[in-house]
Amino acid sequence: MPKITFALPDGKERTCSANEGLSLMEVALQNALPGIIAECNGSAACATCHVIVEDALAAMLDPISEHENDMLEFTAAARQPGSRLSCQIRVDDRLDGAIVRIPAEA
């Protein structure tokens, strides 16, 4: 089972085992991580599951869809180069060992 480390808004880290096939957002909710609200529960409609991934991971993931790209303009914390909606990232073994940052709200 891939292990993913979330860097939390308060600077702490949490490493979570993640079931393949779930979205990163669902993993964050299962572990009650602060900063992932996920109002729309994975429909990419609310921009409240914003995370920032490192360049290497960003390059590996499926590209950002036009819709996700639009939504990323409306995150509470300002968009950054590695910004993604965690509901749009599926967990697979490529994410094992990844570090994903949950930004503090602006």
Partner 1 sequence: MAGTFAFKAGSTAVPMISDVAFAELLNDPYPTFKRARDMAPIVRIEAAKIMVATRYDDIVAMERDPETFSSENPQSLVNKVMGHTMMRKDGEAHQRERRAIDPSLRPGAVKSCWGPKLEAVFEDIVARFERDGEADLFQALAAPMAGRALAEVLGFQDVDWQTMAFWSQSLIDGAGNYSGDPEISRKAVEAARGVEDAIDRALPYHRANPNTSVLSSMIHAEDPHEIDQIYANIKVAVGGGLNEPRDSILTLILGLLQNPDQLERVKANPNLWPVAFEEAVRWTSPIGMYPRRVTRDIVFSGVQLRAGDQVGLCVGAANRDGSRFEDPDRFDVFREKKSHLAFGAGAHFCAGTWVSRHMVGRLVVPRLFERLPNLRLKDPDAVRIQGWVFRGPVTLPVVWGA
Element housing 74 (H / E):
none
Q: Which stretch binds partner 1 (CB under 8 A): 14-22, 44-52, 80-88, 94-102?
A: 44-52
What residues does 58 pair with on adjacent strands?
Answer: none
Q: Is 43 near partner 1 (CB under 8 A)?
A: yes
**How far, in Å, CA of 59 to CA of 67, rounded?**
19
Q: Can you say how many angstroms the Cα of residue 50 is from the centroid of all Cα atoms in its chain?
A: 6
For partner 1, the closer of residues 50 and 57 by Cβ is 50
Q: Is 66 near partner 1 (CB under 8 A)?
A: yes
Q: Is 22 near partner 1 (CB under 8 A)?
A: no
**How far, in Å, CA of 82 to CA of 18, rounded?**
21
Residues that bind partner 1 (CB under 8 A): 29, 37, 39-43, 45-46, 48, 66-67, 69-71, 73-74, 105
